[in-house]
A = this chain, B = another copy of it.
Amino acid sequence: MTDTATLLAVAVEEARLGLAEGGIPIGAALFGPDGELLGRGHNRRVQDGDPSTHAETAAFRDAGRLRGYGRTTMVTTLSPCWYCSGLVRQFGIGRVVVGEAETFHGGHDWLAEHGVQIVLLDDPECKTLMRDFIAAKPELWFEDIGE
């Protein structure tokens, strides 16, 4: 099993890419049972004017059509919102690695209640990315979570 820090690094790289593009710095990646990368992506609200592309849905889309997500791991820099938590539950993604849940507390507890393995990290870089972004562009952040 690939360690979670290695997996998280891909999601953080995606978040940084999003930030460099002027977007919301949340990244995610989907990995297979042996740690193989299946898909990766980041929030694209700003870049594509697309409110439906959150980091997790971008990574999920990038992986293409698959059967059986039970042994896959979704890694995300931030606790997944209800939309992305719903994605995980519907498709039966077996494990979610969360970079941090301090700047936003999404649906990871709900997922745990429904049998998803949650690995909750407290990653300083993930927190800094979000804290700086929310401080700089609060209206964009609240738009992205529908508040």
Contacts and interface: CB of A to CB of B under 8 A. Distances in A.
A67 interface: yes
State how many copies of this chain the complex holds. Answer: 2
Interface stretch (A10-18, A43-51, A95-103, A130-138): A43-51
Instruction: Identify which of A90, A91, A107 gathers the most chain B CB atoms within 10 Å of its CB.
Output: A90
Interface stretch (A1-9, A78-86, A121-129): A78-86
Instruction: Identify which of A49, A57, A87, A147 gathers the most chain B CB atoms within 10 Å of its CB.
Output: A87
Contacts of A85: 86
A87 B83 contact: yes
Interface in A24-68: 45, 49-53, 57-58, 60-61, 63-67
8 contacts: A51-B63, A51-B64, A52-B57, A52-B60, A67-B143, A81-B90, A90-B146, A92-B147
